Chains A and B, each alone.
Chain A
Amino acid sequence: MKYKELRLSGSGGQGLITGGIILAVAALQDGLNAIQSQSYGPEARGGASKAEVIISEEDIDYPKVEKSDILLSLTQLSCDKYLCDLKAGGTLIIDESVETPDRDDITIYKLPILDTATNKLKKSMVANIVALGVINKITNLVSEESLEQAVIERVPKGTEELNKSALYEGYGLIN
């Protein structure tokens, strides 16, 4: 059975909640179940912030992520905070600015996600979409068609082409 728990972490303002929503919308498009949730509170204002997504072929009872299968960390702080809750055998995706952690029970991908958004696409705010491209290329959670459609549906009007490019740049980081 397909049941995957994801945690997208970074700092506030990096669009991680939007990223989580897009992934969940794409999963529904594929006929899967999905729940997206986030924590509110002091930690949402600066410091480490996170969005959580559960994708499943069956009903999702417990709506929160306890131990994630996949962890995205765009900042050192968020990686330090959430790494301990990444399952053994899980997948860690970190920005190249984050120090490679000392764990040999997980698969680690270290990629220039923030740099691709800031310098190649000239818009730091599309880092979340670059990250989605990376995550889906690695994990194949949802179909490429559904993900692209969900990105177009959920990003601000007028930024569709930019975000589509960001998605494809993300795919391109995995080869």
Chain B
Amino acid sequence: MTIRLMQGNEACVEGALRAGMKFYAGYPITPSTEIAEISAIELPKVGGKFIQMEDEISSMGAVIGASLTGLKSMTATSGPGFSLKQENLGYGIISEVPCVVVNVQRGGPSTGLPTSPAQGDIMQAKWGTHGDHATIALYPNSVREIYDMTIRAFNLSEKYRTPVILLLDEIIGHMRERIEIPEDDEIEIIDRKKPTCSPDEYKAYEVKEGDIVPEMADFGTGYRYHVTGLVHDETGFPAGATKAEALIRRLIDKIEDNKDDICTYEEYMLDDADIAIVAFGCTSRSAKSAIKSLRGEGYKVGMFRPITIWPSPEKQLEKLSKRVKRIIVVEMNDGQYFLEVDRIAGKNTLVEKYGRLNGEIIPPHEIISVVKEAYNG
């Protein structure tokens, strides 16, 4: 058992390497820069490649290109860079290229608050790129969970052939915390399924019976196929409107139909709770601290923490809405995830929001006041 003091951003790289990352392209930006720095040091040691590109969109392009050759690839950025990646992120979604995009968030819009934390990219993670699509986004709340969720982000991207977004908080990304590095038998590594047919028989975008996604051949191994951002048929060539419905539906359904596999969450002291706090990332740590104090005073309050933030754990939130009197969504923004929780739970219970925009973590005593007010006021 190895125990270390590790920074959150460092745990992201360690997890990525453990998952098999062999390529990183990026353009450094606070508060994500350590992820680029450490990748640049560590990747050459495992036969991987690091490249600093001229900007964020080209980084995203390089990551997609590298993944098509069979390398597990990652990029990291913050809000302003995440905005710039959106065009190629959509390209990765429609062309079904596995990769991991880390966004260590900061205050926005635009260059916003360079060194301060915020949770303002919740909706951008879901809808930043245009067109109908499903998104997988994970949101860890500790250094160990960053390690685990980075591995999981790679696994989900390989399994569902889609870019996976890892949303981090500046606070967890920059702090150092105790981490127990898991043993090999405690972690699972998933690799994309490759074709067994000959290159002549290979149809790049055909989903075989019993599979979720098409088999993916590495470029450079003799399998030639067309990759495009246009709507395409099972050969990969542009196909126009007649194929659009089937393709886009398949891309959405491969994620939405597998929520039971994709969605993870934590329930804390909810068994007898009257009030449920919904929180994620660093805010969930404030909430947990607040709940411990409130429980000591007899308040029946608990927490639901989505770890997979997209797709949202709809079934679980709906169940929760039928047994609590009130849900308070606490987040460091103006109520972005509140919109999703209210959509799911609003018909069954009262859903309220509590947020802030000042670049500071919400401290436990504020959550305590909000809950007491809800109880007594």
Contacts and interface: CB of A to CB of B under 8 A. Distances in A.
B371 to A, nearest CB: 15
Listed from nearest, the 3 A-B pairs whose CB atoms lie closest are A61-B289, A40-B115, A41-B115
A125 B171 CA distance: 28
Interface of A: 21, 24-25, 28, 33-41, 60-64, 66
Residue among A61, A64, A66 with max Cβ neighbours from chain B (10 Å)? A61
Residue among B30, B114, B115, B171 with max Cβ neighbours from chain A (10 Å)? B115
Interface band, chain B: 20 to 34
Contacts of A39: 115
Given A25-B5, A28-B178, A61-B285, 19 more contacts: A24-B176, A28-B3, A34-B177, A34-B178, A36-B177, A37-B174, A39-B115, A40-B31, A40-B115, A41-B115, A41-B116, A61-B292, A62-B285, A62-B289, A62-B364, A63-B171, A63-B285, A64-B363, A66-B363
A63 B115 CA distance: 17
B115 A21 contact: no
A36 B175 contact: yes
Contact of A63 (B30, B31, B114, B172): B172
Contacts of B289: 61-62
A127 B177 CA distance: 24
A35 B177 contact: yes
19 contacts: A21-B5, A21-B176, A28-B178, A34-B177, A35-B175, A35-B177, A36-B177, A37-B174, A37-B176, A40-B174, A41-B114, A61-B288, A61-B289, A61-B292, A63-B171, A63-B361, A64-B171, A64-B361, A64-B363
A60 B177 CA distance: 9
Contacts of B178: 28, 33-35
Contacts of A61: 285-286, 288-289, 292, 364
Interface string B280-313: 0010011011001000000000000000000000
A153 B285 CA distance: 30
A35 B364 contact: no
Contacts, number: 57
Contacts of B115: 39-41
A38 B361 contact: no
Contacts of A62: 285-286, 289, 363-364
A9 to B, nearest CB: 17
A33 B3 CA distance: 11
A105 B31 CA distance: 38
Nearest to B361: A64
A28 B180 CA distance: 11
Nearest to A24: B5
B105 to A, nearest CB: 14
A34 B179 CA distance: 10
Contacts of A64: 171, 361, 363
A40 B285 CA distance: 21
A165 to B, nearest CB: 24
A56 to B, nearest CB: 10
Contacts of A38: 174
A61 B303 CA distance: 13
Nearest to A26: B5
Nearest to A20: B176
Contacts of A41: 114-116
